[in-house]
Amino acid sequence: MTEIRTRIVGTGSYVAEGVLTNADLEKLVDTSDEWIVERTGIRERRIAKDGIATSDMAAQAVLNGLDMAGLKPDDLDMIICGTVTPDRPLPATAAYVQHKIGAKNNCPSFDIAAACAGSIYGLSIADSFIRGGQAKNVAVIGVELLSRVLDFEDRNTCVLFGDGAGAFILRGDTAENRGILSTHKFTDGSLANILKIPAGGSAMPASKQTVTDRLHYVHMEGREVYRYAVRYLADAAKAAIAANDFSAEDVDIVVAHQANMRILEAVSKRVSIPLDKFILNLERFGNTSSASIPIALDEGVRAGRVNEGDLMLMIALGGGISWGSALLRW
């Protein structure tokens, strides 16, 4: 029996129109362009205008990806949306996306919440459905509207994040040595509290006091996140490479979560893959969480950086703490 592998046949992205530069942030909090660039590598980030919802950005990213793939919304068998900034707690943002793009009503659409690792988790789920023969064409979305959950009085978090969406369009293929080779997912719940939005859920329902205490914004222990990110991203990269009997030298392209340039530089050294093999855009977009890998890949594909036959490594880490990797042959 011919083995089915999952291939990315289309990529799409959407970044919010508003631009917030480091100079703009200097007027809001005690920070400076030099301080931000030195610690993160970020110079500007995108901010969605009022009236734009998470599903609006996600829908546009999917439509752009379908156009590249030569597919229509009705061709989709499943929509998986990775986000921690949904339109509403109920229903799933993916349901709004399904309706907005005009997909058929027998296309199951659901959300996953793995924060910055959402696109890799979604890729893994889609891969299982496609290889198992339960779906042919699947859209995997990573989308975040983080500006709505940032405390612009906290210089340690508000300088990091931006708004955007990216999408993979996946389908089954029988071509030998093409497509997703393996995915690897991990979670350490003992570290859940180092990156969280404290209030708004069942553990701490919304109240006047939680709003007053600014508990509906992102709270992060930056040093702890940095420490674990470097270690776990490197470990996940090595796991994917070793599982497929390759070496670091075999990797042609790395699409990593665009969190912090210092993290990526450290990971590059640990896994012995030069930084010039990484697709980088965090200087312009900041950390778009689950959207960062599909946005970066879409830019790389459209710029001609990704070639047929390239061995591609994806790595990401986010709240949970959840992290993962994927290795694929383009």
Element housing 255 (H / E): strand 253-256
| Secondary structure letter of residue 105 according to DSSP | T
CA dihedral of residues 27, 28, 32, 35 (deg, nearest 10): -170
Nearest to 290 by CA among 311, 320, 252: 320
**Tokens describing residue 99:** 């309706």
Task: Give the strand order in the sheet containing 311-318.
Answer: 179-187, 322-329, 311-318, 253-256
Coil vs helix vs strand at 140: strand
Query: What are the φ and ψ backbone dihedral angles of 91, each rounded to 5 degrees?
Result: -90, -170
206 neighbors 279 (Cβ within 8 angstroms) = no
Nearest to 220 by CA among 192, 190, 196, 188: 196
Catalytic positions are 116, 257, 287
6 neighbors 180 (Cβ within 8 angstroms) = yes
CA dihedral of residues 314, 303, 42, 113 (deg, nearest 10): -40
**Given the DSSP bridges, would you call strands 137-145 and 78-82 parallel, antiparallel or unpaired?**
parallel
Tell me the C-alpha distance between 68 and 208, whole Å.
Answer: 47
Tell me the C-alpha distance between 76 and 103, whole Å.
Answer: 7
Nearest to 192 by CA among 160, 147, 228, 144: 228
